[in-house]
Amino acid sequence: MESGGPSLESSTYTTPSQDDELDLNFHERFSSEPTSMFSSSTTASGDRYEELERVHEETLKKLKELQRTLDQKMADHESEMEEMLARKEELEAELASSKRDEKELRLKDVRIILFFGSLLAS
């Protein structure tokens, strides 16, 4: 199926297991004991770091929820597209059948006209 839009295969989003890995990597990097960059002597820096970490975690949760919503919408859209394509095929088959019926009726009309024409001529 060629829709012209991005395909599921070409999507660049992370899977739930990749999300967990990203979360683990983030926590491994930033949850360890303070380094020289994050000195325990400055409470304001620690508070700022905790706030940033909290905001980051909330943002990740929102991202995951948005991704789930997007995935569901894509699945619904794909399902709807399949239904529409099936309906289109049904309508095309119905149209072809109607055209055949019309052609047969026209041939019968011609035969009847020729038959009555030959009866009147004789």
pLDDT band at 27 (very low <50, low <70, confident <90, very high): low
Give the pLDDT of residue 16: 56
Residue 114, in any domain of the structure:
yes
Q: Which residue has the tokens 């829709």?
A: 3
> How many whole angstroms separate alpha carbon 39 and alpha carbon 47?
11
Average pLDDT of every residue of the chain: 80
> 46 falls in which pLDDT band (50, 70, 90)?
confident
Residues 6+ positions from 81 with CB-CB distance below 8 Å: 1, 3
The percentage of residues in the chain with a pLDDT greater than 90, rounded to a whole number, is 57
Q: Which domain holds residue 91?
A: 14-121
- Over residues 6-17, the mean pLDDT reads 49
- DSSP class of residue 40? T
Look at residue 31 and tell me whether its pLDDT is greater than 60: no
Q: How many domains does the chain have?
A: 1
In a domain, 83, yes or no: yes
- On whether residue 38 sits in a domain, the answer given is yes
Residue 2 lies in a domain: no
